[in-house]
Amino acid sequence: MEISFLQDSSLQTITNKKVKVAVAKGDGIGPEIMDATLRILEAAGANIEPEFIEIGEQVYLSGNTSGIKAEAWEIIDRNKVILKAPITTPQGKGYKSLNVTLRKSLGMYANVRPVNALHPYVQTNFPNMDVVVVRENEEDLYAGIEHQQTQDVIQCLKLITRPGCERIIRYAFEYAKAYGRKKVTCMVKDNIMKLTDGLFHKIFVEIAAEYPEIVNNTQIIDIGAARLSANPIDYDVIVTSNLYGDIISDIVAEIAGSVGMAGSANIGANVSMFEAIHGSAPDIAGQKIANPSGLINAAISMLAHIGQTDTADKIKNAWLRAIEDGYHTADIYKEGVSVKKTSTSEFADAVIDRLGLSPETLKSSNLSKGGGQIRIPEYIRRDEHKELVGVDVFIDWKGSSPEEIGNALNRVNAFNLKLKMITNRGVKVFPNGLKETYCTDHWRCRFVSIDAEIEIGKPVYKVIEYEQVVELLSKLYHSGFDVIKTENLYEFNGKRAFSLGQGE
């Protein structure tokens, strides 16, 4: 059966017509490994037609801070599939990460990185590991929303969305189904980030229930990462948010002994991009010794994506056989294991010579036996009832006594609002804070309705009007407070939708 990840019927589909692919040769070792990869694709009879695009260092240096020209956007928009070699981001301020720009502008929400050991041909302590990391690609701390709010405090917003979680988690389960994987592990830190990571975990549990045939479990990211590096064999598919996924996927590639050999896919509903996980390796550029395997594996994922699974298997099996036969580039060459230290193009020749052969000891590739298409349904928004029950007012104040600011705020006649508490870096410092708590110039002051029952153990909030907030801000301003920002406190369907202060 053929697998296609194509989700939009307007995309180029599986026909005899050549599939046009936007190809970026990249910088540093990029052109060398891309030439090797394209030669293999051609020799294997891949039904594709490359259309070259210009991105990267030269485009940056020509004054284009995004590193990509308008013509390249047009070609990507036409073709929807990108095969990309690594690029060099010039040092210095003002250059935006092209990878982040491409992923986010084109809605490539899933980063999929399969990594398996090639023991004994590539050195690893984990000969049987075979892990796929499915990383959310657009949200989380990578939203890039940062502000300096006071002299001493800078904030980065962590944005986790329900549609984002639903899409990536469903993708992970559908991937597991398509590739006959048995288990999906979710990694979060919801013991601390109860709302953001809590949402990811909650949605994981909801969606996992729809796939009873696939084992699921959840781990806290710190212990999860530790166990993964000690016992990768216990893991199959891992799904996680952007930052954790970034870290986890590098750990997985490193312990497999093959950072230079793994490819990754960035999957979107309309556009998808395939690349090696390593960078442009300027230290060895031009020496013709780079290992093209990362990009070859990316190209194999690309062929599976566009439905050319037979060709994908043919290349993967020839590549495995070349590794088995001891044809190794310098980065993986090992006396006694390797037979020949190859240049980049000699390695490509070794793969081409083995097209049609299968590995003898390593597990053969069988993408053609995959199980169907990955289609992620449109997100359906369920309306919830939202009520405003308070406001957190953040104040820049360089004093150090919580009592002083607390008492001053208590004296502000705040239009039927009362001060519930003050925190500093999330820890409650007023009323009844501890004198040991270090306080910065960044004070979060929580106001709720004067009728809220906050004195009892489980507070009962009362609905307020936004006009009260506006009035409060005006009063604070006229009393000389430097308000940095506010965060409204809401209940959704009657449930508190904001975190408590630590120690509250």
Buried-state track 198-216, b at ≥16 Cβ within 10 A, e below 16: bbbbebbeebbeebeebeb
Bond from prior residue into 431 cis (ω within 30 degrees of 0): yes
Which residue from 201, 278, 420, 428 is in contact with ligand NAD, where contact means CB under 6 A?
Answer: 278
- CA angle 103/252/238 to nearest 5° reads 70
Q: Does 87 bind ligand NAD (CB under 6 A)?
A: yes
**Smallest separation (angstroms) from ligand NAD to the CB of 59:** 13
> What tokens appear for 365 in the block?
């590739």
Indicate if 396 belongs to the active site.
no
Is residue 264 within a helix (H) or strand (E), and if so which, with residue range? Answer: strand 263-267
Q: Does 281 bind ligand NAD (CB under 6 A)?
A: yes
**Smallest separation (angstroms) from ligand NAD to the CB of 73:** 17
Q: Does 279 bind ligand NAD (CB under 6 A)?
A: yes
Dist CA 371 CA 170 (whole Å): 16
Q: Which residue has the tokens 């991937």?
A: 175
Output 344 or 449, the one with its CB closest to ligand NAD: 344
From 118-126, 277-285, 312-320, 407-415, give the range in contact with ligand NAD by CB under 6 A.
Answer: 277-285
Indicate if 246 belongs to the active site.
yes
Indicate if 189 belongs to the active site.
yes
Dist CA 282 CA 70 (whole Å): 26
Question: Positive or negative, the Cα torsion across 160, 166, 171, 172?
Answer: positive
- Residues 494 and 394: beta-carbon distance below 8 Å: no
| Dihedral (Cα; 385, 388, 389, 390), 10-degree rounding | 150
From 44-52, 279-287, 420-428, 429-437, give the range in contact with ligand NAD by CB under 6 A.
Answer: 279-287
Which residue from 58, 64, 89, 149 is in contact with ligand NAD, where contact means CB under 6 A?
Answer: 89
Beta strands in 343-481 (DSSP E): 386-396, 417-424, 427-430, 442-449
> What tokens appear for 123 in the block?
């050195």
Task: Find the catalytic residue in 84, 104, 158, 189.
Answer: 189
**Smallest separation (angstroms) from ligand NAD to the CB of 291:** 4
Comparing every residue's Cβ against ligand NAD, the nearest one is 279
From 39-47, 84-92, 265-273, 495-503, give the range in contact with ligand NAD by CB under 6 A.
Answer: 84-92
- CA angle 372/110/303 to nearest 5° reads 50
DSSP state of 141: G
The gap from C-alpha 476 to its chain's centroid, in whole angstroms, comes to: 40
Which residue from 67, 86, 402, 501 is in contact with ligand NAD, where contact means CB under 6 A?
Answer: 86
Output 153 or 284, the one with its CB closest to ligand NAD: 284
Query: Which residues partner with 488 through β-bridges?
Result: 391
Interface mask toward ligand NAD for 314-333; x: CB under 6 A: -----------------x--
Query: Which residues partner with 482 through β-bridges?
Result: 396
From 13-21, 83-91, 193-201, 354-362, give the range in contact with ligand NAD by CB under 6 A.
Answer: 83-91
**Smallest separation (angstroms) from ligand NAD to the CB of 332:** 8
Q: Does 94 bind ligand NAD (CB under 6 A)?
A: no
Residues belonging to the active site: 142, 189, 222, 246
Write out the residues near ligand NAD by the rule CB under 6 A.
29, 86-89, 99, 260, 275, 278-284, 290-291, 294, 331
